[in-house]
Structure formats: C-alpha cells, structure tokens
C-alpha cells in the first residue's frame, strides 16, 4: 500500500508519503510545511497594507490565522467578500460570519465590479506537491490512498454549542465500536455536518481520481499515531495526549479501544493545571460539565476508566507537548514527533482499507 498522509494543523502541514515497499518508514519522504491558513493569512496582511478590499473564493479551509487576518482587515475599514462555501472557513454559522462584517455573496454577478485582491483558497494541493516531488524521483500517480487530517467542528444546530456538538459527535461515532479508526471516514462515510472534511475529500478526488480518500480530525489522528510509537505499542493501558497549538485532546486507550476522551483549549492550561486535569480524567473524577465550564469542549467515558496509577504509559505529542508536567513518554512514531498525525492517518488507512 502507498499512502499520502497530509496532517493540516493550525501552524504546520505535516506530510508523509508512505510506501510499504521501502524497507523502513524512516526511508519514506516526509515534510513539514506552513499550514494553508498561515500562508493565506500572509496574503491578507499584504492586501491590508495596500488598503485593498478582498474577495475570497474556493473551498473550506482551517480558519485560525487566516480568519484572524480577515477580522483585522475589516477593522481597518476595508471590505471582505466571501462566497458561501469559503465563508464556512470563518465560522460554521453564516449569521456569525455576517456579524463580523463579512459580506457573503451567492453569485458571480454580485462581485462583477469588484476592484481588489482575489484569493482562491484551498488546503489540499496535491498537484503542487507532485511537481515538487518529481524532481526527487517520487510519483503520486500510483498512490492508493490519500489520507487528510483537518480539524472540523461541524455545522452545529442553532442554539447548540459548537464545543459540545464536536465532542458529542465523537461519542456517537465510538459508542457502537470504540476503535480509534472509527473517527476516520472514507469519502462516502463523512457525516454531512463536516464541511471541511468533505471539501478535503473532494479535493483529493479532483486531483487524484484513482486514489481512495480518507479524512480524519487532526486530534484523533495524533492519538492514533501515538499508539504506533514502539514503546506505546507494548502497553495495554495508555493515556495518549495531543497538546496542539489550539486544542488539547486526551484519550484513555485500553486493549486498543478508546474508553474515554477529553478535549480542552491548550491556551487555558498551565503545566500544573493540565497535570491535575489529566490525573482526574484517568481516575474518572473529571466531569463533562467541569471541562465545558472551564472553556473546554468536554469529555465522555465509554466504560469505567483505568485509574491513574494503573496507566502503563502516558504518551504525549503535539507542538506544545512540553507544557505537560507529568512524567510522560514523548511519542515519536517513525522517529519524528511531527509525524505523529501522518502516522495515525496511515494506520487508519490500513485498518479501513486492508
């Protein structure tokens, strides 16, 4: 199997071209690039400096730095126009997007006389990647699966917190079968609410029609990647923690199944606070209400959690993993902490397609 794994985070886009015919995964091509959100944010900042209005077309991408740059652009008294599909990049509620001062248009006629900077956004650019790799003797034409990880809160019902909706959706997906790969979706399995995942899968099919597409949220992909670390693989009871730039997700894994999952915002954690939260989480003392009221997403237990002293390995990964003050093992599957997400995607592809 040959898998192109693309993990798109808030700051970086981590890529691993896995080819099982190579002797070791360490011999496979890997790259760490700036995320599309960061790249497009820089283009917005340049337009702001030039006092140019902006029209944004294209598909849903991660908001993050890009959405922040658009808000700063509007604060300068400049216009931002977006197509409906592109506008979901900023918020999954279009009324909230409009409240920020962004004009949402529905047809080309509405911006025919537009005089400013036009941005065509998208975050899965396989063609550019292929043009680069061909110079190193690598081809993407024979890729079996393109697996993409993006963070997607989903389009949530009116009156429902997007934080609660995100965690509850994960709970629904795991209740029947709590294996981590059930948070990954083949192209025909993606729930309708996940517009960013759908956009990623469509981009894959547009650019590599013969390849199968798989999409997954970035945090569960990192959790699954942690489990492929050589030391972690030997353990039956694992507390896997992904401390990302924006989100921190923790999962208790017992006998290769998720027994509990918790998600919070990284910026709200100090090293002491994350220690207490993780300890209480593993002991079954932390509640969904407590995490939510602290500004996080929430948590759920699918079965009685392993007590903290019985956890065999605490595996930590993510760009801010050093914020954790517990005695942890820094997971580095394929010998690189930045490849945790891509390795998780590759493992999900193997489990889903083999």
pLDDT digit string (tens) for 284-317?
999 999 999 999 999 999 998 889 999 999 999 8
Q: How far apart are CA 170 and CA 261, in angstroms?
A: 9
pLDDT, average across residues 152-173 = 88
pLDDT, average across residues 21-42 = 94
| 222-258 pLDDT per residue, tens | 999 999 999 999 999 999 999 988 889 999 999 889 9
What percentage of the chain has pLDDT greater than the value 90?
79
Task: Quickly state the pLDDT bin for 107 (edges 50, 70, 90).
Answer: low
- Which residues belong to CATH 3.30.420.40 in the chain? 220-353
Q: Residue 305's pLDDT is what?
A: 84
Domain 220-353 listed as CATH 3.30.420.40: yes
Task: Quickly state the pLDDT bin for 187 (edges 50, 70, 90).
Answer: very high
| 34-61 pLDDT per residue, tens | 999 999 999 999 999 999 999 999 999 9
CATH architecture of the domain 37-121 equals 3-Layer(aba) Sandwich (3.40)
- Which residues belong to CATH 3.40.50.1100 in the chain? 37-121
pLDDT, average across residues 319-337 = 78
Reference 340, options 240, 180, 222; nearest CA is: 222
Span of 104-113, 172-181, 205-214, 304-313 with lowest mean pLDDT:
104-113
Name the average pLDDT for the chain: 92
């Amino acid at each position: 199997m040959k898998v192109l794994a693309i993990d798109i985070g808030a700051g970086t886009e981590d890529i691993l071209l896995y080819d099982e015919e190579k002797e070791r995964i360490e011999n496979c091509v890997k790259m760490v690039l700036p995320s599309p959100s960061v790249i497009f944010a820089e283009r917005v900042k340049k337009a702001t400096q030039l006092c140019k209005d902006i029209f944004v077309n294209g598909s849903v991408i991660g908001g993050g730095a890009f959405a922040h740059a658009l808000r700063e652009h509007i604060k300068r008294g400049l216009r931002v126009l977006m197509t409906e599909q592109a506008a979901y990049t900023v918020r999954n509620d279009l009324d909230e997007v409009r409240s920020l001062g962004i004009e949402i248009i529905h047809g080309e006629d509405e911006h025919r006389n537009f005089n400013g900077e036009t941005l065509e956004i998208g975050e899965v650019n396989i063609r550019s990647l292929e043009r680069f790799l061909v110079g190193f003797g690598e081809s993407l034409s024979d890729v079996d699966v393109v697996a993409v990880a993006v963070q997607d809160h989903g389009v949530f019902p009116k009156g429902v917190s997007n934080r609660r909706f995100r965690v509850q959706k994960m709970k629904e997906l795991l209740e029947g079968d709590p294996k981590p790969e059930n948070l990954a979706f083949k192209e025909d399995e993606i729930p309708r609410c996940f517009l960013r995942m759908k956009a990623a899968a469509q981009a894959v099919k547009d650019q590599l029609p013969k390849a199968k597409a798989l999409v997954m949220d970035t945090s569960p992909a990192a959790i699954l990647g942690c489990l492929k670390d050589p030391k972690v693989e030997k353990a039956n009871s694992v507390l896997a923690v992904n401390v990302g730039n924006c989100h921190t997700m923790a999962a208790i894994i017992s006998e290769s199944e998720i027994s509990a999952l918790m998600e919070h915002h990284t910026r709200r954690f100090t090293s002491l606070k994350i220690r207490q939260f993780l300890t209480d989480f593993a002991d079954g003392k932390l509640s969904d209400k407590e995490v939510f009221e602290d500004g996080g997403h929430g948590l759920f237990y699918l079965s009685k959690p392993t007590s903290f002293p019985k956890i065999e390995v605490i595996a930590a990964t993510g760009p801010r993993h050093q914020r954790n003050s517990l005695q942890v093992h820094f997971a580095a599957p394929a010998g690189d902490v930045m490849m945790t997400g891509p390795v998780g995607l590759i493992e999900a592809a193997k489990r889903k397609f083999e």
